[in-house]
A and B are shown apart, each in its own frame.
Chain A
Amino acid sequence: MPSVLPLGDPAPSDGLLPAQAADGAAQRGFGLYVHIPFCAVRCGYCDFNTYTATELGGGASQDAYASTAIAEVEFAARVLKGSGLPPRRLGTVFFGGGTPTLLPAEDLARILAAAVAEWGLEPGAEVTTEANPDSVTPESLQLLADAGFTRVSFGMQSAVPHVLKVLDRTHTPSRVPQVVQWARDAGLAVSLDLIYGTPGESLADWRYSLETALSYGPDHISAYALIVEDGTKLAAQIRRGEVPGIDDDDHAAKYELADELITAAGLGWYEVSNWSRTPQQACRHNLAYWRGDDWWGIGPGAHSHVGGVRWWNVKHPTAYAGRLAGGASPAAGRETLDAETRNVERVMLEARLSSGLGVSGLGESGRHAVAGLIADGLVDPALAFKGRLVLTLKGRLLADAVVRRILHD
């Protein structure tokens, strides 16, 4: 989650949602995102809304954070009810950060328990936490599994020490197989996060990272091109010429290598940057974002979406805690999407998925664009004829251009 909040309309302090939010809610899935805004070290590339331990106090401190988050869980339950939404059980829960596992596992379990107490979990619900290989133990992982977590996503990033160093990652590569094994032993599904295109990373480095990650037999892999965000330490280093800049062609070559090796290892792509061993092991929480389901985001800077209403919380943990302590909504701003905007978002998000975008839902000019996209090898022709616009490998690398052609041509 980037740290810069969008500009939107003011959000009311009672948090109540406009009537449209409840329309058709019973047919939509419902999930919970919990943002944990702490890290042991601030990574050079990261512009997420996260803070190191010593930076915060009051209700925003690490010690008090679980209670503050639980206050928003309870607030969320009141708002949804008060806005006329039907009671729905949680299909997915995702703890992200920051580094969720910097909090004691008991705190994460406590927040989850509060959410389950409010809404309940669907049978077979997916409950994930992100984790840094440095900040888990066999015991903490077991505790999470016992509390109801089903899945852990490790920020492995790379298997190459000099690449990890540029990224400011502190873990030693040899720790990764160990934590994967611990997670397995606890009964958790395992996902590994990788980053490619780090300054100084060769294609061979990247191949080594991929092969290493695949050798651990993960259920799921996310591989992201490094994005150099304005205002990060890495952006400054590149600007000063201390590290080389980002090259899109290098990114493209590495993406193609990733897809080749991951697919060869038996995983399949289901979103531009995500592969899973079976379709059932795709991250259902993330799929909910791309399919326009409802979710509530707990925590400072967290985004939420319910029935075409998007909002985002105040960014700073102290301001966030203060709002909740006063019984007010922590939302900083929100937007209510009209039908056209929802359609733009649908195209923008569903085009990224292997399940694709329904061609029949496109306007006339959008349908017209499909022929050109097929001709340019960006869209799978057979699936397009069956009514689904699904990107080819080349198309995935140019997904944003494809979206523009569908929407703007």
Chain B
Amino acid sequence: MSPMARTAPVPAATDPAIIRNFCIIAHIDHGKSTLADRMLQYTGVVQSRDMKAQYLDRMDIERERGITIKSQAVRMPWEVDGTSYALNMIDTPGHVDFTYEVSRSLAACEGAVLLVDAAQGIEAQTLANLYLAMENNLTIIPVLNKIDLPAAQPEKYAEELANLIGGDPDEVLRVSGKTGMGVEVLLDKIVRDLPAPVGDPDAPARAMIFDSVYDTYRGVVTYVRVVDGMLHPRERIQMMSTRATHELLEIGVSSPEPTPSKGLGVGEVGYLITGVKDVRLSKVGDTVTNLAKPASESLPGYADAKPMVFSGLYPLDGTDYPVLRDALEKLMLNDAALVYQPETSAALGFGFRVGFLGLLHLEITRERLEREYKLDLISTAPNVEYEVTLEDKRVVHVTNPSEYPTGKIAEVREPMVSATILAPNEFVGAIMELCQSRRGVMGGMDYLSEDRVEIRYRLPLAEIVFDFFDILKSKTRGYGSLDWKADGDQVADLVKVDIMLQGEQVDAFSAITHRDKAYAYGVMMTGKLRELIPRQQFEVPIQAAIGSRIIARESIRAIRKDVLAKCYGGDITRKRKLLEKQKEGKKRMKMVGRVEVPQEAFIAALTTDESKDKAKK
């Protein structure tokens, strides 16, 4: 067993041969944070006696300091056979929508710890990230976590991991982040098995940005992995994709507190501060070089973040519009993938059309807006971006059904994804049924172990953004997991379905669907609205239409009675108070023509409850 390192290698003067760069690939609740905390503790980066307090205080510290203590990259010393090594643990974003960011984090490493819960086995996103790591030629160290749990099945899942990456099940490490068991062995193995970084110390500096975070006090903190050459404080640097130049105000390593250094050399991982205020000026995947002695070629793999899913965000209370605008501006500083533009809806008022990497990104953003900025929001049904070619060859990109062209359409293309689903084999039939109902084409199926399968489908993105994952979960009793990545586009027979109340089109309810599903959407939405919209003083027809052709209709009968039969001396105060309450209630009504539609009806109509309904059946 290795002791804690007596001396730590000094940044900017560390031989690449004693550097080990790694990340931990794990599913969200498979214990990555606990294991990482244990590593911080065992390497002496965080004192044992501080450990618990630090862990608990994490959120407050984050808020106070802006930079997370669970840092994007932590440098830890670890001694093996008398040599002190510098271990850089690089964090990877935890969810499906950030595949690109994950790929950049992986590109900053030579190896990855594949961490899997010994009671649950590998999940689809972890598998996808594992494949990504293997494509990047990373050395994989398979580890089963939580082996102290009574439900752990280490033999079964060790076999599964060995099958996936090749090798012997006995080589799969077994640890418990909770008790610390096996963690020191893992640290030794990282030193012994992972290759040291290789680079040219004399070449012009090249460092890859793998994360970039906005801090209230310091501006953007950029995390880099140096590939060639060296970066020093006070020198001018250049971002190779944008040609923007900045002065390097501070350079250093997190250990885990940000610690300024005299520079960063080949293979080292650390942070840069230039005083810029917008993460867009420090893009993930970009290459940083020295302005005085610039590199001629940037590092491979840079791509712009591309929003895949679009939704209208509207404040419930129209007077909150400026609050929403300011909040989006602030979020954007820290989220390079977020794009938005103002949008007006006849039904919902002023709001924004916001582009996201995926549905989860949408949900996280919406939740942050609601929680951190105390906003009540309506989000319209998520849309993908369609490419519509008109007969006059004009091409329109549509991210909002209300922008769908009314002229003659030659062709509509929709974005496609390749999806990977992992589940116990008993659910294969249900999953195939689901994917086929979503216009999916099967790509293949493999057994991961005796009873677990990997199913691959190519699906239209539009078919998975709304409720696909919820339904997958319910059809697989929670065992199914999903990962997807963009996979080109296809021509499809798509139409726009409009919903009209009393002849007035309600833009918030319009949808672009496959022609075969237009009728079902029309029937579903008109039926839903009939239930949700209270009866008015007049009859309200609800229609679904493709162009001028009505495909479904419902009707809300006029209310015939709205009067309190008895209103005598003792009823007056109560009746008046009810009237005052109703006046407050009216503020939560949106007017569509003359029809009063409660906010709740909008929210309920736009909420995915299909999955719940199906779960009941």
Write the residues of chain A forming the contact surface with B, with a CB cutoff of 8 angstroms: 1-2, 4, 6, 8, 33, 224-225, 227, 248-249, 251-253, 255, 272-273, 286, 289-290, 295, 297, 301-305, 310, 312, 335, 341, 344-345, 348-349, 352, 376, 378, 396-401, 403-404, 407-408
Identify A297's interface contact among B557, B561, B569, CB under 8 A: B569
Those of B565-617 within 8 Å (CB) of chain A = 565-577, 579-580, 582-583, 586
Chain A residues closer than 8 Å to B565, beta-carbon distance: 224-225, 227, 272-273
Identify A349's interface contact among B561, B567, B583, CB under 8 A: B567
Query: Is B537 touching A401 in the complex (CB atoms < 8 A)?
Result: yes
Query: Is A224 touching B566 in the complex (CB atoms < 8 A)?
Result: yes
Chain A residues closer than 8 Å to B557, beta-carbon distance: 249
Q: Which 10 A-B pairs have the closest CB atoms?
A: A1-B570, A252-B560, A399-B563, A303-B570, A225-B565, A252-B561, A224-B565, A248-B561, A6-B573, A401-B562
Docked Cα-Cα span, A273 to B582, in Å, equals 23
Known: A4-B574, A376-B538. A398 touches B569 (CB 8 A): no
Write the residues of chain B forming the contact surface with A, with a CB cutoff of 8 angstroms: 537-538, 557, 559-577, 579-580, 582-583, 586
Docked Cα-Cα span, A6 to B561, in Å, equals 25
Chain B residues closer than 8 Å to A302, beta-carbon distance: 570
Give the distance to chain B from A195, nearest Cβ to Cβ, in Å.
Answer: 9
Identify A341's interface contact among B562, B568, B576, B582, CB under 8 A: B576
Identify B568's interface contact among A4, A227, A289, A378, CB under 8 A: A289
Give the distance to chain B from A59, nearest Cβ to Cβ, in Å.
Answer: 22
Query: Is A2 touching B570 in the complex (CB atoms < 8 A)?
Result: yes
Chain B residues closer than 8 Å to A290, beta-carbon distance: 567
**Chain B residue with minimal CB distance to A256?**
B560
Query: Is B561 touching A251 in the complex (CB atoms < 8 A)?
Result: yes
Q: Kindly list 4 other residue pairs between chains A and B, CB separation below 8 angstroms, not including A302-B570, A345-B576, A376-B538.
A: A248-B560, A248-B562, A305-B572, A400-B562
Query: Is B582 touching A404 in the complex (CB atoms < 8 A)?
Result: yes
Query: Is B573 touching A8 in the complex (CB atoms < 8 A)?
Result: yes
Give the distance to chain B from A55, nearest Cβ to Cβ, in Å.
Answer: 21
Docked Cα-Cα span, A403 to B579, in Å, equals 9
Query: Is A2 touching B561 in the complex (CB atoms < 8 A)?
Result: no
Give the distance to chain A from B387, nearest Cβ to Cβ, in Å.
Answer: 45
Chain A residues closer than 8 Å to B570, beta-carbon distance: 1-2, 297, 301-303, 312
Query: Is B560 touching A348 in the complex (CB atoms < 8 A)?
Result: no
Give the distance to chain A from B570, nearest Cβ to Cβ, in Å.
Answer: 3
Chain B residues closer than 8 Å to A400, beta-carbon distance: 562-564
Identify A397's interface contact among B562, B572, B575, CB under 8 A: B562
**Chain A residue with minimal CB distance to B586?**
A408
Query: Is A348 touching B576 in the complex (CB atoms < 8 A)?
Result: yes
Query: Is A397 touching B561 in the complex (CB atoms < 8 A)?
Result: yes
Docked Cα-Cα span, A203 to B569, in Å, equals 31
Give the distance to chain B from A76, nearest Cβ to Cβ, in Å.
Answer: 15
**Chain B residue with minimal CB distance to A334?**
B573
Chain A residues closer than 8 Å to B564, beta-carbon distance: 227, 400
Chain B residues closer than 8 Å to A2, beta-carbon distance: 570-571, 574
**Chain B residue with minimal CB distance to A6?**
B573
Known: A248-B559, A255-B561, A303-B573. A404 touches B579 (CB 8 A): yes
Query: Is B572 touching A289 in the complex (CB atoms < 8 A)?
Result: yes
Docked Cα-Cα span, A304 to B569, in Å, equals 7
Identify B560's interface contact among A224, A249, A297, CB under 8 A: A249
Query: Is A1 touching B571 in the complex (CB atoms < 8 A)?
Result: yes
Known: A255-B561, A310-B572, A401-B562. A408 touches B538 (CB 8 A): no
Q: List 10 A-B contacts (CB under 8 A).
A: A6-B573, A6-B577, A312-B570, A341-B576, A344-B579, A345-B572, A348-B572, A401-B559, A404-B586, A408-B582
Chain B residues closer than 8 Å to A4, beta-carbon distance: 574
Chain B residues closer than 8 Å to A297, beta-carbon distance: 569-570
Docked Cα-Cα span, A289 to B573, in Å, equals 12
Give the distance to chain A from B538, nearest Cβ to Cβ, in Å.
Answer: 7
